[in-house]
Amino acid sequence: PPYPTREILKEKLLLAIENCEGFGIE
């Protein structure tokens, strides 16, 4: 599909949050 599924978006969001925590951003 041309657009990512909600599950993929959720996974990317969780990864982004983890990355932010890694940079010290709460």
Instruction: List pLDDT tens digits, range 1-26.
Output: 677 799 999 999 999 888 877 776 55
How much is the pLDDT for 19?
A: 82
Question: In degrees rounded to 5, what are phi and psi of residue 24?
Answer: 95, 10
Its domain, for residue 9, covers 1-26
How much is the pLDDT for 3?
A: 77
- DSSP code of 23? T
How much is the pLDDT for 20?
A: 78
The total number of residues shown for the chain amounts to: 26
Number of domains in the chain: 1
How much is the pLDDT for 6?
A: 92
